[in-house]
Amino acid sequence: MSKDYELDNEDYKGIEESIRQQPMMNQAPFQAGMYNMGPYQAGMNYMDDLDERDMEYMKRMYPELNQRIQKHIEYECDRMDYNGSPMYNEYPDQEMIEQMIDRVYERVIEEMPELLDEGDMDRQRIPRYRLVRSLAGALLLTELFGRRRNFRRRTPFYGYPYYQYPYYQYPYQYQYPYPYY
């Protein structure tokens, strides 16, 4: 194969001659597709997917009880995950979170009634059912935090973040130093 194999092709020679006559024709005048992508660069979707796979891997290392509770937590969060959900409010209502914890706890107790067994109450300071409910609450808050983080990544921010540009005014009224003629 020759060093300049590209020049062996007759069609390419014609294109090269055309480029010499019109030097800027080989460059795109406006790359519209690049501007529609927003802040993403090539490979950033892979990084988002990497975070999700990492979280799933860590969840598989949970103890058995946590995994069984996590299944109910994900069901409850999926049920509450809709457009305009109070789960994505800037400050979620504590009462709503408590109700979610109660629903998760009820499902966990239906699946594992042995958690209500009070046979070893004399050895415990805190009843087992309160520990399970607290664990469900901690796991639920962790799941909510992850979903809210992903929600913020999905939704673009349209606005002026720091100084509210449309309403910003200078501290003094600017006046031209000498009159117009």
| pLDDT tens sequence across 111-162 | 998 888 766 555 556 677 788 999 999 999 999 998 888 777 766 555 545 4
104 Cβ contact partners less than 8 Å away, ≥ 6 residues apart:
69, 72, 73, 76, 136, 140
Number of structural domains the chain divides into: 1
Which of 83-87, 136-140, 170-174 is least confident? 170-174
Q: Is residue 133 part of a domain?
A: yes
Residue linked to tokens 């009462």: 95
Torsion, Cα of 85, 82, 75, 44 (10° steps): -100
Task: Look at residue 46 in the predicted model and tell me its pLDDT.
Answer: 64
Q: Give the amino acid at 88.
A: Y
Q: Is residue 123 part of a domain?
A: yes
Q: Is residue 29 part of a domain?
A: no
Q: Is residue 15 part of a domain?
A: no
Task: Look at residue 27 in the predicted model and tell me its pLDDT.
Answer: 56
28: pLDDT confidence band, cut at 50, 70 and 90? low
Helical axes 64-80 vs 128-154, angle rounded to 10°: 50
Mean pLDDT of 98-107: 95
176: pLDDT confidence band, cut at 50, 70 and 90? low
DSSP letter assigned to residue 175 = -
Q: Is residue 143 part of a domain?
A: yes
108: pLDDT confidence band, cut at 50, 70 and 90? very high
117 Cβ contact partners less than 8 Å away, ≥ 6 residues apart:
128
Alpha-carbon distance values, 178 to 18, 171, 175, 181 (Å) = 57, 21, 9, 9
Q: Is residue 107 part of a domain?
A: yes
Domain coverage including residue 66: 45-153
Task: Look at residue 120 in the predicted model and tell me its pLDDT.
Answer: 57
What is the three-class DSSP state of 54? helix
Cα 67 to its chain centre, rounded Å, is 23
pTM for this one? 0.57
**What is the C-alpha separation between 172 and 134, in angstroms, rounded?**
56
Q: Is residue 13 part of a domain?
A: no
What is the three-class DSSP state of 116? helix
Q: Is residue 16 part of a domain?
A: no
pLDDT more than 90, % of the chain: 29
* Residue 134 in tokens: 């607290």
In the predicted structure, residue 49 carries a pLDDT above the cut 50: yes
In the predicted structure, residue 68 carries a pLDDT above the cut 70: yes
Alpha-carbon distance values, 78 to 26, 74, 137, 154 (Å) = 50, 6, 16, 17
Average pLDDT, the chain: 73
